[in-house]
């Protein structure tokens, strides 16, 4: 059902990845589980701007190793598609940075949430 010519990169936290991920996806988490919870709490309590500031602080030291890993992955013949939960801040910022650094990758529109909903519809239609 998934295209064979794509390598999926999941930038969600390890716990999110463990709960559900696309077959064959590689987890390159922007935040670990505790960092994700902290950023989410700051977002709810102090707003988007404060959460973005914190997210940037947490992510910045990780960018060189993420870049090297993505560079190695992108050397293959598969297209690289990145996703998070809804296709928002995490995957969008990750894809923007990688593209800026010369690594070709795209974002899965709507994230894994939309993908799951489409698969559920497909399976429901096949049962009819």
Catalytic residue among 84, 89, 95, 98: 84
Contact call for residues 10 and 25 (beta carbons, < 8 A): yes
- CA dist 44 and 41 (Å) reads 5
Nearest in space to 54 (alpha carbons), one of 32, 27, 36: 36
Is 108 in contact with 79 (CB distance < 8 Å)? no
Six token digits for residue 85: 């939960």
Identify whether 105 is a catalytic site residue: no
Token pair belonging to 123:
């399976």
Instruction: Just list the catalytic residues.
Output: 84
């Amino acid at each position: 059902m998934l295209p064979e010519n794509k390598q999926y990169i999941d930038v969600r936290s390890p716990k999110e990845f463990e709960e559900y991920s696309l077959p064959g996806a590689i987890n390159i988490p922007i935040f670990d589980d505790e960092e994700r919870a902290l950023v989410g709490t700051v977002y709810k309590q102090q707003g988007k701007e404060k959460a973005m500031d914190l997210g940037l602080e947490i992510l910045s030291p990780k960018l060189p190793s993420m870049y090297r890993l993505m560079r190695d992955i992108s050397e293959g013949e598969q297209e690289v598609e990145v996703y998070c939960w809804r296709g928002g801040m995490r995957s969008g910022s990750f894809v923007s940075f990688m593209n800026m650094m010369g690594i070709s990758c795209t974002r899965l529109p709507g994230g894994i949430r939309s993908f799951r909903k489409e698969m559920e519809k497909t399976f429901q239609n096949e049962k009819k």
